[in-house]
Structure 1
Amino acid sequence: MPEITYTRGDATTPSVKGVKVIAHVCNDIGGWGKGFVLALSRRWPEPETAYRAWHRDRANNDFGLGAVQLVQVERYLWVANMIGQRGTRTGSKGVPVRYEAIDAALERLAEPVRELGASVHMPRIGCGLAGGTWPRVEPLIVERLVRRGIAVTVYDQGEGPS
């Protein structure tokens, strides 16, 4: 069975050839200011600008849990803003991550990625500030992307996969 490739490094600088999509999880309240999004914004203004406009005009578009926005940042590089967390704080309803929304976003991402002939690159989505756990997220990635023949690389900043 195909598997996810794990590597150490920065998900904003995938080193493989060909068309690439950097996928990450965003919240559903328009907040962009902590976590992996800061690394994206240091490299390109477009993902944040597009996300904020998408949120601002949410009454007229598909912005919400499970939605995906593809933003081209270089000739062969796209960023996928995936809405996979409710709010930004842990509260009475638990951590912000919403696994069903990540699942839906990955499902929506698969077709455009295949049309682009792209590989997907990401940090451990939903497992940082969103509070998710990798054993819950990894099978979603395998099911929605890897089993469809899409190459996925997950980047760890530190010691590699745990």
Structure 2
Amino acid sequence: MSEITYVRGDATQPFGKGPRLIVHVCNDIGGWGKGFVLALSRRWPEPEKAYRRWHRERATNDFGLGAVQFVQVESYLWVANLVGQRGTRTGSKGVPVRYEAIGAGLADVAAKAAELGASVHMPRIGCGLAGGKWPRVEPLITERLTARGIPVTVYDHDG
């Protein structure tokens, strides 16, 4: 079993060689415009285009809480758009993060990482604008990824 490696840096520039998956959390309403997605869009247009198309065509695909879309952005680099938050605002039902959806999505990430022989890289998913708490997310990563021997690096961005 591997452990989660924590580093200071930019998750859009993942460390290491070989196949790598960058995982981040998206909402279930088609919104892309705040938080980590802006950093992704500055580097590659494909993840946003693919997410918007996925949402637009949701009547004919698997778009929804817990679903993951894998978008190849470089030869050995993919972005995983994981739908892990309901809406974008805190309201009567609490914060947007949905831990069950993140857990379900991470199971798909684990399968894809195993298929590609990839390491997984991410910011503290679900803990920014989605309002999640890391002590609830970290065990999901441990259970779904590192327990299966998949190396995971979590990036804490400076600034």
TM-score range relative to shorter protein? over 0.9
SS in structure 1 opposite 2:33? Answer: coil
Distance 2:152 2:15 in 1: 13
SS in structure 1 opposite 2:23? Answer: strand
Deviations 1:5-36 (Å, cap 9, x if unpaired)? Answer: 00000000012011100000000000000000
Distance 1:137 1:111 in 2: 19
The offset of 1:46, in angstroms, is 0.2
Counterpart for residue 70 of structure 2: 70
The offset of 1:51, in angstroms, is 0.1
User: Between the two proteins, what is the percent identity of the paired residues?
Assistant: 79
Deviations 1:70-126 (Å, cap 9, x if unpaired)? Answer: 000000000000000000000000000000000000011111111100000000000
Give runs of aligned pairs for residues 7-156 of structure 1, distance below 5 A.
7-156=7-156
The offset of 1:3, in angstroms, is 1.1
Count of matched residue positions in the alignment of Structure 1 and Structure 2: 159
Give structure 2 stretches of 5+ with no counterpart.
Answer: none
SS in structure 2 opposite 1:69? Answer: strand
Task: Please provide the CA RMSD for this pair.
Answer: 1.0
SS in structure 2 opposite 1:102? Answer: helix
Give structure 1 stretches of 5+ with no counterpart.
Answer: none
What is the TM-score normalised by the length of structure 1? 0.96
- The code of the aligned residue for 2:58 comes to R
Distance 2:118 2:45 in 1: 22
Distance 2:78 2:37 in 1: 14
Contact 2:2 2:150 in 1 (8 A): no
Distance 1:42 1:82 in 2: 19
SS in structure 1 opposite 2:139? Answer: helix
1:4 matched to 2:14: no
SS in structure 2 opposite 1:143? Answer: helix
